[in-house]
Amino acid sequence: MILDVISVSKANCKNCYRCVRHCPVKAIKVVGGQAEVVDSLCIYCGRCVIECPQNAKKIRNDLHAVKEFINAGEKVVASIAPSYPAVFDVTSPQEMFSILKALGFYGAEETAVGAEMVSMEYQHLIKKGQKGPIITTACPVVKNLVEKYYPGLIRNLAPVVSPMVAHARSLKQRYGLDIKVVFIGPCIAKKAEALDRSVLGNVDAVLTFQELADWIDEKASAVAGVDFGERENVLEPFIARSYPLPGGLLKTSSMEDDLLSREVVVVDGMEDCMELLDALERGSVSGRLFEMMACRGGCINGPSMPCDSSLYERRERLLSFIENNQQQQGYEDIKASAAGIDLRRSFEPKAFKAPRPTESEIREILASIGKTTPEKELNCGACGYPSCRKKAEAVYRGMAEPDMCIPYMRSRAESLANLIIDHTPNGIILVDSNLNIKEINRAAEKMFGVEKEQVQGKPLSTVIDDRDFAWVLANKTNLQDKKVNYPRNFLTTLQTICYIEEEDLVLAIIQDITEQEKQRMELERVREETLEKAQEVINRQMRVAQEIAGLLGETTAESKMLLLKLIELVKGREENEGLC
Ligand code: SF4
Ligand code: SF4
């Protein structure tokens, strides 16, 4: 079953591998530079959600489903985890129940009631002499950890349901099987636990405290005017409100006095839990009962606690709440209610058999990222894996990509950058704020007839005129495309000089335009020569034209004279004939 409890927003995931680094079981796959949570490997500890600086990890939101239950007229009953006083500003359970009712819940009770029942079951186990070591199973992350990564210890898991499931069963027994039970708590793993095959159908939806806080904000006006009313006729926990704290389960089960402290081990925090499970697997610890909580400091430090207060402030708030709401009775009612409920469950191995690479396959993967000798295996952890070999194994399993190796990618990028700088035909000179040369590339060495080793660290003025650089440095303004001649080097250049503010450096890109300049001047000379020649031709043409025009003018005048004379002659002859 795909649970989709945690998804990743592709737009937000920025390829930083922070989630991989913090995932205790490396259940995050990186494909195309994007992180993905692999359901079959994930234990839902929520660390990747907390650690992602880009908020790319999203927890499945079940608020919509719960609102739909309410809108459809279902009887929806809330089971609220005992860590709520650490985060919501309420002074009594009744205040919390009234808020939940204002949101539309039919009823509400504390999950700590289920915790009382579970503790009774633990007492039975111990009394019956169940052979240790017994691992408590109230924390679903620890249960997931054992099922997926320590299958050899499954037989050590106490075959008892969690307080959430015990309470849901109790609520359905008392309110009717047709009600919808919504668990509300600080834990992401509960969303997966509700869908676990062996307890499926008990809890109908799971909200985190964050989802509840968002809902309360949304309905702020309805919640603000809520009347806290009379104390409800509900089951109230007797001593189990301390369940969210390390040692709370054992205290509630009255086992502190029954067992020698050497036999009872309480651990909180993922690393300590894993260390203890490793030791249990090796058979090197002899305790009898092991209370384990994945979150450091217990559930009050769960992954979905919507508050900024410190762990110790939350602890303080919870302890004050417990003190101010002491119950003197109720234990017998809970005991009676628990009598008719099945509090047992089973567990199944869910370990994923990962393909194992051979030594030569690991070497091949390491070599592909330049790690050809053991000295080149830096084991820096930047990729998220504790060693280069572990990362190579992850690449083999398709969980990681070779280019997640940051030192390798950086040196590759640097060598590519150096390659570009060294092969560009433009001269590049970098100077510091004292105008001493920091870098000079091959093209610039050639242009100015120097060698990097000789001039690095020396004043720029020993190589070229540094006045433009000094001007850029003083004015913190770039100089763009300035033509500069270096007669001593027979060079004409086009220079762009930039100020690099973050580093207080000046960078010059010098383009050798000597050849273009020569060509330009040659063209200029040819152009002028052509113009001169053209002018000469024009002048000559003009002269010829004028001469032709002169000749044409003379002959035209002569023709005109001759014709006039001819006309006169003709006219004179006609007159003479008329007289005769
Ligand atoms: S929830 Fe925990 S186990 Fe799952 S991917 Fe995130 S860090 Fe890993
Ligand atoms: S310690 Fe509590 S909040 Fe944390 S994972 Fe376990 S049950 Fe959830």
ipTM of the shown complex: 0.85
Say how far apart CA 302 and CA 283 lie, in whole Å: 30
**Beta strands at 180-185 and 76-80: parallel, antiparallel or unpaired:** parallel
**If you write DSSP's letter for every residue of 49-117 in order, what string do you get?**
HHH-TT--EEEPP-HHHHHHHHHTT--EEEEE-TTGGGTS--SSHHHHHHHHHHTT-SEEEETHHHHHH
Which numbered atom of ligand 2 lies nearest the CA of 45? 5
Distances in Å between the alpha carbon of 570 and those of 362, 548, 559, 575? 125, 33, 16, 9
pLDDT of residue 256: 59
Which numbered atom of ligand 2 lies nearest the CA of 186? 3
Write out the chain's pLDDT in tens, 580 residues. 556 899 999 889 988 999 999 999 999 999 999 999 999 999 999 999 999 999 999 999 999 999 999 999 999 999 999 999 999 999 999 999 999 999 999 999 999 999 999 999 998 888 887 777 999 999 999 999 999 999 999 999 999 999 999 999 999 999 999 999 999 999 999 999 999 999 999 999 999 999 999 999 999 988 887 877 777 778 989 889 999 999 888 888 776 554 556 678 899 999 999 999 999 999 999 888 899 999 999 999 999 998 889 999 999 999 999 999 987 677 888 989 899 899 999 999 999 888 899 999 999 999 999 999 998 899 999 999 999 999 999 999 999 999 999 889 888 888 888 888 888 889 999 999 999 999 999 999 999 999 999 999 999 999 999 999 999 999 999 999 999 999 999 999 999 999 999 889 999 999 999 999 899 899 989 988 888 888 888 888 888 888 887 777 776 777 677 777 777 776 765 565 544 3
Which numbered atom of ligand 2 lies nearest the CA of 185? 3
DSSP helix/strand/coil, 471:
helix
Residue 187 Cα to chain centre, angstroms: 21
Say how far apart CA 68 and CA 104 lie, in whole Å: 11
**Beta strands at 289-293 and 28-31: parallel, antiparallel or unpaired:** unpaired
Output the CA 4–ligand 1 centroid distance in Å.
12
Output the CA 302–ligand 2 centroid distance in Å.
5
Output the CA 141–ligand 1 centroid distance in Å.
10
Q: DSSP E strands: which ranges in 350-476? A: 427-431, 437-440
Output the CA 338–ligand 2 centroid distance in Å.
23
Output the CA 267–ligand 2 centroid distance in Å.
12
Copy the structure tokens of residue 247: 């040692």
Instruction: Say whether 424-512 and 1-60 share the same fold.
Output: no
Alpha-helical regions (H) of 327-405? 331-339, 359-368, 388-396
CATH match of 1-60 with 3.40.50.150: no
pLDDT of residue 275: 97
pLDDT of residue 580: 37
Copy the structure tokens of residue 189: 């793993």
Contacts of 306 (CB under 8 A, 6+ apart): 87, 209, 210, 213
Contacts of 6 (CB under 8 A, 6+ apart): 37, 42, 44, 46, 48, 49, 57, 58, 59, 60, 188
Output the CA 43–ligand 2 centroid distance in Å.
11
Say how far apart CA 509 and CA 493 lie, in whole Å: 10
Say how far apart CA 163 and CA 116 lie, in whole Å: 8
Instruction: Tally the residues of the chain.
Output: 580
Residue nearest to atom 7 of ligand 2 (CA): 139
pLDDT of residue 570: 65
Output the CA 276–ligand 1 centroid distance in Å.
19
Output the CA 454–ligand 2 centroid distance in Å.
64
CATH match of 424-512 with 3.40.50.300: no
Decide: 302 in ligand 2 pocket, CB within 6 A.
Answer: yes
Which numbered atom of ligand 1 lies nearest the CA of 43? 3
Which ligand is in closest contact with the Cα of 45? 1
Which numbered atom of ligand 1 lies nearest the CA of 37? 5
Say how far apart CA 518 and CA 455 lie, in whole Å: 29
Decide: 299 in ligand 2 pocket, CB within 6 A.
Answer: yes
78 forms beta bridges with: 108, 182
Copy the structure tokens of residue 486: 């270096």
Copy the structure tokens of residue 67: 């609102």
Residue nearest to atom 7 of ligand 1 (CA): 23
Say how far apart CA 392 and CA 362 lie, in whole Å: 6
Copy the structure tokens of residue 39: 């359901």
Decide: 46 in ligand 2 pocket, CB within 6 A.
Answer: no
CATH class of 354-411: mainly alpha
pLDDT of residue 532: 87
Q: Where are the domains of the chain?
A: 1-60, 61-339, 354-411, 424-512
pLDDT of residue 579: 42
Distances in Å between the alpha carbon of 376 and those of 360, 368, 379, 389, 438? 17, 12, 9, 11, 29
Decide: 298 in ligand 2 pocket, CB within 6 A.
Answer: yes
**Residue 486 Ramachandran class (φ > 0 left, ψ -120 to 50 alpha, else beta):** beta
**If you write DSSP's letter for every residue of 132-162 in order, what string do you get?**
S-EE--SSHHHHHHHHHH-GGGGGGB--B--
Decide: 82 in ligand 2 pocket, CB within 6 A.
Answer: no
